[in-house]
Amino acid sequence: MILAIETSCDDTCAAVVSTEGEIASNVIASQGLLHARYGGVVPEIASRHHLELVDAVTADALERAGAGLDEIDRVAVTRGPGLIGALLVGLSSAKALAASRELPLVPVDHLHGHVVASTLAPDPVEPPYLCLVASGGHTFLARVDDPAGYSVLGQTLDDAAGEAFDKGARLLGLGYPGGPAIDRLAREGDPEAFEFPRSAPGELDFSFSGLKTSLLYAVRDLGDRAESRSADLAASYQRAIVDALVNRTRAALERQGLERLAIGGGVAANSELRTAVADLGVPAWIPPVELCTDNAAMIAAVARFQEPLEYPSYLALDAAARL
């Protein structure tokens, strides 16, 4: 059994997963509401709450799995990328747990976690596959031939798709995080009411900063009428983001000759995106929402394929804001 801890942003997460990829527990303590009043994640507040929560969340993950530390064979933890203070809490905690039993430790790349979340049971995707990862901090297309690694085929040159959702929501006067708020409001609007750009920076890369600016101008031009058109604005804006993601995904599938698709990252929770990727003509692995947004089960998923560090070699290991 693998015990995994993830604290790269504002969710304190722990999970217990078997080496076959069966999830015994996947606990997520979201700090979302604590940061909402600031309109985004405040790094220092996130670190402090991770510190308060990490022991309880880990104990809860073990309890829900019906396991004690005796049943754990290795500890996995997110090493980066993410908020450095937040990462340090999870890494220190994982090191302490592993060292207390002289267990091996697997330091994991958070993005690798999003890429292989869909290799978990009960319906694991088999490589080779294409994975679209779209989260608050990252947006990229990855090719996976062996889940021990991945190669990036294209990525965003500016904002991440989740950032585009969050910034768009702010312009529309919706709360944080913006993705779920736009997703909800868009259901009542007309996705063709406004013409927003689908920028094509070439190859398989993405760009979302121009789109955000167009929304800003549309809201400004509407003036007093913007509020009454907010559902149409949300629907059209969401359609533009989803189109950009789906068009590049289709192109990558064709160019790479890949016949299986997985999606991951917080934006993979978006209802329009989930419907659109299911219609791409290849089998699509669309994980449940709790495996799309940040979680520790996906960190354990990576640890199934990666060589662990033996005790005590990992004690000097540092977290990394960027990998």
Residue 311 CB contacts under 8 Å (≥ 6 apart), including other chains: 98, 99, 102, 103, 104, 105
Question: Could you say which of ligand KG4, Zn ion, none residue 165 binds, taking C-beta under 5 to 8 angstroms by partner kind?
Answer: ligand KG4
* From 109, 205, 232, 294, residue interacting with Zn ion (rule: CB under 5 A): 294
Residue window 106-145: x/- pattern of binding to Zn ion, with contact defined by CB under 5 A: -----------------------------x----------
Residues 282-301 close enough to bind ligand KG4 by CB under 6 A: 293-294
Tokens representing 26 are: 């996947």
* From 171, 253, 269, 302, residue interacting with ligand KG4 (rule: CB under 6 A): 269
Q: Which stretch binds ligand KG4 (CB under 6 A): 34-42, 95-103, 120-128, 174-182?
A: 174-182
Helix (H) or strand (E) holding 54: helix 43-64
Min separation Cβ 115 and ligand KG4, Å: 12
User: Alpha carbon 26 to chain centroid distance?
Assistant: 15
Residue 266 within binding range of ligand KG4, rule CB under 6 A: yes
Helix (H) or strand (E) holding 164: helix 161-171
Q: Are 285 and 129 in contact (CB under 8 A)?
A: yes
Residues in the chain: 323
By three-state DSSP, how is residue 126 classified?
A: coil
User: From residue 87, how far is each of 19, 132, 297, 298 by CA, in Å?
Assistant: 24, 24, 16, 16
Residue 177 within binding range of ligand KG4, rule CB under 6 A: yes
Residue nearer to ligand KG4 on the CB measure, 24 or 273: 273
Q: Angle at the Cα of 308 (from 306 to 312), degrees rounded to 5?
A: 165
Binding site for ligand KG4 (CB under 6 A): 9, 135-137, 162, 165-166, 177-180, 183, 265-267, 269-270, 293-294
Binding site for Zn ion (CB under 5 A): 135, 294
